[in-house]
Chains A and B, each alone.
Chain A
Amino acid sequence: MSDLAIRSLSKSFGGVRAVNEVSFDIKRGEFLALIGPNGAGKSTCFNMINGQLPPDSGEIWFEGAKLNGKKPRDIWRLGIGRTFQVAATFNSMTVVENVQMALISHANQVYRLWKPASSLHRTRALELLAQVGMQDAADRPSRELAYGDVKRVELAIALANDPRLLLMDEPTAGMAPKERNDLIALVKRLVIEKGISVLFTEHSMDVVFAFADRIIVLARGRLIADGDAKSIRDNPQVREVYFGTGKTFQKSEAHR
Chain B
Amino acid sequence: MSFNAFLFQALNGLSAASGLFFVAAGLSLIFGVTRIVNIAHGSLYMIGTYIAYSVATKVGGAVGFWGGIVLTALLVALIGAAIEILLLRRIYRAPELFQLLATFALVLVINDATLWIWGPEDLLGPRAPGLTGSIEVLGRRLPTYDIFLIFVGPFVLWMLHLALAKTRFGRLMRAATQDREMVGALGVNQAMLFTGVFALGALLAGLGGALQIAREPATLATDLIVIGDAFVVVVVGGMGSISGAYLAAVIIAEVKALCIGLGVVNFGGFTVNFSKLTLVAEFLVMAAVLIARPYGLLGREQVAVRSVAEPEEPLRPATPATKIAGLILLVVLVCLPLIAKSSPYTLVLGIDVLIAVLFATSLHFIMGPGGMHSFGHAAYFGLGAYGAALLVKWFAAPMGLALAAAPVLALVGALLFGWFAVRLSGVYLAMLTLAFAQIVWAAVFQWETLTGGSNGVLGIWPSAPFDTRGPFYFLTLALAALGVLLLRKFLFAPFGYAMRAGRDSPLRAEAIGLDVKRVHWLAFAIAGAVCGIAGGLFAFAKGSISPETIGVSRSIDGLVMVLLGGIQTLTGPIVGASVYAVLQDFMMRSTEYWRALLGGIILLLVLAFPSGIVGGFVKLISRRNTTSKAAS
Which of B314, B492, B522 makes the CB contact (< 8 A) with A92? B314
Which of A72, A89, A112 makes the CB contact (< 8 A) with B495? A112
Task: Give the docked Cα–Cα distance between A50 and B510 (Å).
Answer: 11
Residue of A whose beta carbon sits closest to that of B512:
A102
- Let me know if A97 and B508 touch, CB within 8 A: no
B216 at the interface (CB under 8 A from A): no
Residues A90 and B511 in contact in the complex (CB < 8 Å), given A111-B494, A117-B494: no
For the side of the interface on B, what is the size category?
20 to 34
Of B117-125, B356-364, B498-506, which stretch is located at the interface? B498-506
Of B31-39, B184-192, B513-521, B570-578, which stretch is located at the interface? B513-521
For B314, B317, B493, the residue with the greatest tally of chain A CB atoms inside 10 Å of its CB is B314
Per-position binary interface string of chain B over residues 314-352, scored 1 when its CB falls under 8 Å from any chain A CB and 0 otherwise: 110100000000000000000000000000000000000
Q: Considering the complex, which residues of chain B in the window 56-70 have a beta carbon less than 8 Å from any beta carbon of chain A?
A: none
State the Cβ distance, B54 to closest chain A Cβ, in Å.
51
Task: Give the docked Cα–Cα distance between A91 and B311 (Å).
Answer: 7
Task: Give the docked Cα–Cα distance between A76 and B514 (Å).
Answer: 10
Task: Give the docked Cα–Cα distance between A104 and B512 (Å).
Answer: 10
Per-position binary interface string of chain A over residues 106-147, scored 1 when its CB falls under 8 Å from any chain B CB and 0 otherwise: 100111111111101000000000000000000001010000
Residues A76 and B511 in contact in the complex (CB < 8 Å), given A110-B495, A117-B492, A143-B311: yes
Task: Give the docked Cα–Cα distance between A109 and B510 (Å).
Answer: 15
Per-position binary interface string of chain A over residues 71-107, scored 1 when its CB falls under 8 Å from any chain B CB and 0 otherwise: 1110011000010100011111110010011101110
Residues of B within 8 A of A201 (CB): none
Main secondary structure of the interface of B (DSSP, over half): helix
Which of A72, A77, A104, A160 makes the CB contact (< 8 A) with B494? A104
B301 at the interface (CB under 8 A from A): no
- Let me know if B514 and A90 touch, CB within 8 A: no
Which of B317, B489, B500, B513 makes the CB contact (< 8 A) with A114? B489
Residues A118 and B317 in contact in the complex (CB < 8 Å), given A92-B311, A92-B504: yes
- Let me know if A106 and B495 touch, CB within 8 A: no
- Let me know if B313 and A92 touch, CB within 8 A: yes
Residues of B within 8 A of A111 (CB): 494-495, 498, 519, 522
- Let me know if B513 and A76 touch, CB within 8 A: yes
B496 at the interface (CB under 8 A from A): yes
For A76, A77, A91, the residue with the greatest tally of chain B CB atoms inside 10 Å of its CB is A91
Residue of A whose beta carbon sits closest to that of B490:
A113
- Let me know if A92 and B312 touch, CB within 8 A: yes
State the Cβ distance, A89 to closest chain B Cβ, in Å.
7
Per-position binary interface string of chain B over residues 275-318, scored 1 when its CB falls under 8 Å from any chain A CB and 0 otherwise: 00000000000000000000000000000000000011111010
Residues of A within 8 A of B311 (CB): 91-92, 143
Residues of A within 8 A of B312 (CB): 91-92
Task: Give the docked Cα–Cα distance between A115 and B494 (Å).
Answer: 8
Residues of B within 8 A of A110 (CB): 494-495, 498, 514-515, 519
Residues A117 and B493 in contact in the complex (CB < 8 Å), given A90-B504, A101-B501: yes
Total residues of chain A contacting the partner, CB 8 A: 38
Residue of B whose beta carbon sits closest to that of A167:
B511
- Let me know if B519 and A90 touch, CB within 8 A: no
Residue of A whose beta carbon sits closest to that of B368:
A92
Task: Give the docked Cα–Cα distance between A114 and B317 (Å).
Answer: 14
Which of B490, B498, B510 makes the CB contact (< 8 A) with A72? B510
Q: Considering the complex, which residues of chain B in the window 471-502 have a beta carbon less than 8 Å from any beta carbon of chain A?
A: 489-490, 492-498, 500-501
B396 at the interface (CB under 8 A from A): no
Residues of A within 8 A of B513 (CB): 73, 76-77, 102, 105-106, 161
Which of B493, B512, B515 makes the CB contact (< 8 A) with A113? B493
A157 at the interface (CB under 8 A from B): yes
Residue of B whose beta carbon sits closest to that of A77:
B513
Residues of A within 8 A of B505 (CB): 88-91
Residues of A within 8 A of B510 (CB): 71-73
B507 at the interface (CB under 8 A from A): yes
For B313, B500, B508, the residue with the greatest tally of chain A CB atoms inside 10 Å of its CB is B508
State the Cβ distance, B488 to closest chain A Cβ, in Å.
11
State the Cβ distance, A75 to closest chain B Cβ, in Å.
9
Q: Considering the complex, which residues of chain A in the window 140-163 have a beta carbon less than 8 Å from any beta carbon of chain B?
A: 141, 143, 157, 160-161
- Let me know if B511 and A50 touch, CB within 8 A: yes
Task: Give the docked Cα–Cα distance between A205 and B320 (Å).
Answer: 54
16 more A-B residue pairs beyond the given contacts A94-B314, A100-B497, A112-B494, with a C-beta to C-beta distance below 8 A = A73-B511, A82-B511, A90-B504, A91-B312, A92-B312, A93-B314, A101-B501, A105-B514, A106-B513, A110-B514, A111-B498, A111-B522, A112-B495, A117-B493, A117-B494, A157-B512
Interface set of A (CB-CB < 8 Å, partner B) = 50, 71-73, 76-77, 82, 84, 88-94, 97, 100-102, 104-106, 109-118, 120, 141, 143, 157, 160-161
6 closest A-B pairs by CB: A88-B508, A92-B312, A90-B504, A117-B497, A105-B513, A102-B512
What are 7 A-B contacts with C-beta separation under 8 Å?
A73-B514, A90-B505, A91-B311, A101-B498, A110-B515, A115-B493, A116-B492
